[in-house]
């Protein structure tokens, strides 16, 4: 079975032999065999051997990802919950329906940090504590290091992902390529550059979830209910009501005054 996984454009483990598609300036989409996922990625030679087209591979991988969505959970409470998805949390960024839904539950626009393959933390632009918590979490994970680091940049959802810059309203990137950086190796973002079928003059491919929309996913991944109501832009999270000290409470049988 195939699944789409996000990889860092700076990761030297992925080269021209791998099928990669541009996603954001820091991230690309690769395709992994599995389970387990993440140890073996699809190459151009694999496509030839399996008689698969690139678009077919993308469609099959995205369908497989949707079939796993019932396992998706939200951990923690606002202002900065995290995803739980069995070590493949970053792949959920490729499922538009999830973010359309979650964007309705945060104050302002939805912002995510995706510092590692298995870490996605999100908040809203209207929550200063949430933004600070996301920023700290991302920086802490990069400081600690690890095998599957992705990006220190935050992303904002605006009917698509783009780089988040505080204080600016950004449109989704029209060209989410490597943004001027030169990644290790000539990977060309989905363009075949090796073998007899190389495509040196062709435009690089970009990730697109395209195709027919999938049916609504289960509501179980939505934000957990707060103690006193659902989260909303006016109070995220909504504080619990104050509790009176025990000595102020009415004793059984006392008449209301």
Task: Put the strands of the sheet holding 21-22 in their side by side order.
Answer: 2-8, 27-33, 21-22
- Per-residue pLDDT at 38: 81
**What letter would DSSP give residue 197?**
T
Q: Does 233 map to a domain?
A: no
What is the structure's pLDDT at 67? 94
What percent of the chain lies above the pLDDT cut of 90?
56
Number of domains in the chain: 1
Domain-embedded: residue 46: yes
Where is 83: in which H helix or E strand? strand 82-84
Asked if residue 190 lies in contact with residue 39, where contact means CB atoms within 8 angstroms, the answer is: no
Asked if 32 and 58 count as a contact pair (C-beta separation under 8 A), the reply is no
Alpha-carbon span 73 to 82, nearest angstrom:
9
The whole-chain average pLDDT of the chain stands at: 77
pLDDT above 80: residue 99: yes
- Which one-letter DSSP state was computed for residue 14? -
- The answer to whether residue 58 sits within a structural domain is yes
Question: What values do phi and psi take at 251, rounded to 5?
Answer: -80, 150
pLDDT score, position 214: 53
**Closest CA relative to residue 203, chosen from 81, 77, 35, 22:** 22
Higher pLDDT, 211 or 80: 80
pLDDT for position 209: 63
Total residues found in the chain within this entry? 257
More confident residue, 209 or 24: 24
The domain in which residue 48 lies consists of 2-208
Distance of CA 184 to the CA centre of its chain: 24
Question: For position 248, what pLDDT does the model report?
Answer: 42
pLDDT over threshold 70, residue 109:
yes
* Site of tokens 């009176």: 244
**176-202 mean pLDDT:** 47
> Model-level pTM?
0.72
Average pLDDT over every residue of 131-147: 94
Instruction: Judge whether 239 lies within some domain.
Output: no
219 within some domain: no
CA–CA dist 244, 246 (Å, integer):
6
> What pLDDT is attached to residue 13?
86
Distances, alpha carbon 127 to alpha carbons 153, 202, 246, in Å: 18, 43, 34
**More confident of the two residues 115 and 182:** 115
- The mean per-residue pLDDT over the stretch 237-255 comes to 46
Please report, for the chain, how many H helices and E strands are present, in that order. 4, 9
Task: Indicate whether 149 belongs to any domain.
Answer: yes
What does the alpha-carbon distance between residue 135 and residue 141 come to, in Å, rounded to a whole number? 10
pLDDT attached to residue 194: 52
Specify if 248 maps to a domain: no
Q: Is 215 part of a structural domain of the chain? A: no
Which H helix or E strand runs over 66?
A: helix 54-68
């Amino acid at each position: 079975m195939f699944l789409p996984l996000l990889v860092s454009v700076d990761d030297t483990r992925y080269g021209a032999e791998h099928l990669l598609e541009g996603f954001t300036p820091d991230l690309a989409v690769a395709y992994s065999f599995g389970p387990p996922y993440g140890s073996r990625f699809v190459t151009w030679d694999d496509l030839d051997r399996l008689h698969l087209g690139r678009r077919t591979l993308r469609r099959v991988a995205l369908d497989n990802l949707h079939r796993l969505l019932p396992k998706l959970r939200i951990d923690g409470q606002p202002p900065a919950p995290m995803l739980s998805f069995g070590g493949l949390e970053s792949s959920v960024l490729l499922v538009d329906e999830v973010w359309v839904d979650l964007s309705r539950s945060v104050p302002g626009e939805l912002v995510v940090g995706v510092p590692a393959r298995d870490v996605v933390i999100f908040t809203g632009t209207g929550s200063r504590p949430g933004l600070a918590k996301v920023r700290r979490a991302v920086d802490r994970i990069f400081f600690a290091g690890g095998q599957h680091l992705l990006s220190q940049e935050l992303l904002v959802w605006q009917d698509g992902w783009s780089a988040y810059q505080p204080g600016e309203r950004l449109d989704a990137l029209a060209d989410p390529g490597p943004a001027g950086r030169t990644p290790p190796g000539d990977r060309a973002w989905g363009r075949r550059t090796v073998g007899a079928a190389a495509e040196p003059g062709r435009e690089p491919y970009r990730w697109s979830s395209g195709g027919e929309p999938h049916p609504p996913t289960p509501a179980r991944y939505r934000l957990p209910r707060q103690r006193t109501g659902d989260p909303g832009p006016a109070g995220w999270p909504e504080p619990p009501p104050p509790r009176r000290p025990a000595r102020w409470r009415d004793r059984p049988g006392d008449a209301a005054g």
